[in-house]
Amino acid sequence: MKNIFCLLFLFCNLNVLAQSDSVNEIYYDKIISYTDVGYYSCPFEIKINQLGTLNYRNNIKPFIGIGFNYKWGSLRIGSLINYNLKGLENFGSTKIFKIGTEFFYKRFLFDLSFYRLKGYTLVDNSNFTTNQFNIYDDITFQSSALNTWFFINKNFSHHALKGIKQAVKKNNWSLYFKNTNGYTSIQNNASIIPSDLNNSKSISYDFTKINAFEMGLLFGVATAIKFKHNFQLGSMFGYGGVLIDRSLNTGQHNKNWIGLSSRYDFHIYGGYNKKNFFLMNYLDLEQRNIQFTNFEVNSRLISYRLVVGYRF
């Protein structure tokens, strides 16, 4: 199963008939088939007071998937394409695994996801390393999250933004609350920070694992816009704070801190959507920040999909 990326999404909507057709086109009675291509990426930076910013980047492998929808149920299966979008000589090969599920119930959207990426490159740090690109095959980034959105506007639909089971019929918007519960882990067999950095400074950054558990609340706004000629555009932007329990593992000791941190995420959906055919773009970005005494870690979970489908 090396370099194979399997996705299984099971979407359930238990309140199909309760959706108002005043602002959304409803297609639950149609058999819907689609295919999609895209990629996932989880870059992160470590900002150290004495040294500046260390940029860690993963290589990117695109994926392809097929999906089917009918009534309240949906199924999507995808696979990673064994092709690196970035050169192997600079970025190595990143092993990627992601699995997730989401479903919409009344005014609630639930999302559960797990990411695992192994293999990163430290870039743009030639001032303290011998090469501009330094590959670390064992650095692993893991993320899991359970997110829940509640939309104030009872007629607003996340399904309409995605444009598969529904489509935007009239311009509408909604404020929303998002409860987020997440776990982030960055680890390496040796120190995550290069050894030549640790040896050159009085403060030691010789840690092999960073962990963070968080829970919090974001407040945001979602919009859905219908253009002429069957084009539509939607977005969701949220900002808020989390209570975070973070820790460092040096191999011999484990230190914990509890504090507060800010969070934001951004989602945009747009494309062409008519009765029988749709072509949609999805871009999702989630930012996470983990602060320690002398440094901080910023990570971004990025997802892009191009979806093409037909309703029978």
Q: What is the pLDDT of residue 209?
A: 93
**The pLDDT of residue 123 is above 90:** no
Note whether residue 2 is domain-resident. no
User: Stretch 95-104: mean pLDDT, rounded?
Assistant: 90
CATH code where residue 127 lies: 2.40.128.100
User: Stretch 21-34: mean pLDDT, rounded?
Assistant: 91
* Confidence at 199, pLDDT banded by 50, 70, 90: low
Judged by average pLDDT, the poorest of 118-132, 159-173, 175-189 is 118-132
pLDDT digits (tens, 9 = 90+) for 53-82: 899 999 999 999 999 999 888 889 989 998
Average pLDDT, the chain: 87
What is the span of the domain harbouring residue 159?
7-311
**The pLDDT of residue 280 is above 70:** yes
Note whether residue 202 is domain-resident. yes
Task: Please give the full DSSP string across the chain, using - where no structure is assigned.
Answer: -TT---EEEEEEBS-GGGS-SSSEEE-TTS-EEEEEEEEEE--EEEEETTTEEEEEEE----EEEEEEEETTEEEEEEEE-S--SS-HHHH---EEEEEEEEEEETTEEEEEEEEEEEEEEEES-TTTSSSSEEEEEEEEEEEEEEEEEEESSTT--HHHHHTSSEEE-S-EEEEEEEEEEEEEEEE-SS-SS-HHHHHHSSS----SEEEEEEEEEEEEEEEEEE-GGGEEEEEEEEEEEEEEEEEEE-SS-EEEEEEEEEEEEEEEEEEEE-SSEEEEEEEEEEEEEEE-SSEEEEEEEEEEEEEEEEE-
Note whether residue 285 is domain-resident. yes
Q: Quote the number of domains for the chain.
A: 1
* Confidence at 200, pLDDT banded by 50, 70, 90: low
Note whether residue 206 is domain-resident. yes
Note whether residue 1 is domain-resident. no
Q: What is the pLDDT of residue 16?
A: 33
Note whether residue 50 is domain-resident. yes
